[in-house]
Structure 1
Amino acid sequence: MERLEVELLTDAGNDAVLHLPNRKFPGLLVQDDSLSILRAQVAELSELCKARDLAEAREAASLLLSE
């Protein structure tokens, strides 16, 4: 494992924008618990689409987008 110095572009919080050396664009660091919640929301949206429940899928997608 390599240790790097990174530039923190945002205040500390649940997520952070970082700029890694030798990368053109910054990246986003998301805490594992936040990523897990996001994954669960996407999985729910996928299941609603598979079930062809488009009204609920639209609502779930809208909530996901707003967050």
Structure 2
Amino acid sequence: MERVEAELFTPGGNNAVVRLPGRHFPGVLVQGDSLHVLRGEVAEILAACERGDLAEAGDTAGFVLSGLDELLAGYEAALADHGIRRPY
């Protein structure tokens, strides 16, 4: 394990926007439990597609997309608050 100092652009906690040393742009810290939930939701989409249940797959995909949109909006707001251009 290596200890480093990171720049924190939002309050700590879930989905904190941080910049690690040597990186030009910040990233989003996703906690392990949140990552596990996201993986499970994508697995549900795949399972629904395999069953041919496109309505359920679409509903779950919409839920995942909504969560990712919120995450992206928070990231973009943190960049704007600190005068950092988007990397895309």
TM-score (norm 2): 0.68
CA distance in 2, matches of 1:41, 1:21: 32
| SS of alignment partner, residue 65 of structure 2 | helix
Runs of 4+ in 1 over 4 A off after TM superposition: none
Q: What corresponds to 1:61 in structure 2?
A: 61
**Which consecutive residues of structure 2, in runs of 5 or more, have no partner in the other structure?**
68-88
Partner amino acid, structure 1, of 2:36: S
More helix by share: 2
**Which consecutive residues of structure 1, in runs of 5 or more, have no partner in the other structure?**
none
Q: Alpha-carbon deviation of 1:13? A: 2.4
Q: Alpha-carbon deviation of 1:52? A: 2.2
Paired residue total: 67
Q: What corresponds to 2:19 in structure 1?
A: 19
Cα offsets for 1:9-44 (capped at 9, x unmatched): 111222211101111221111111111111111110
Q: What corresponds to 1:30 in structure 2?
A: 30
Q: What corresponds to 1:43 in structure 2?
A: 43
Among all aligned residue pairs of Structure 1 and Structure 2, give the percentage whose two residues are the same amino acid. Answer: 55
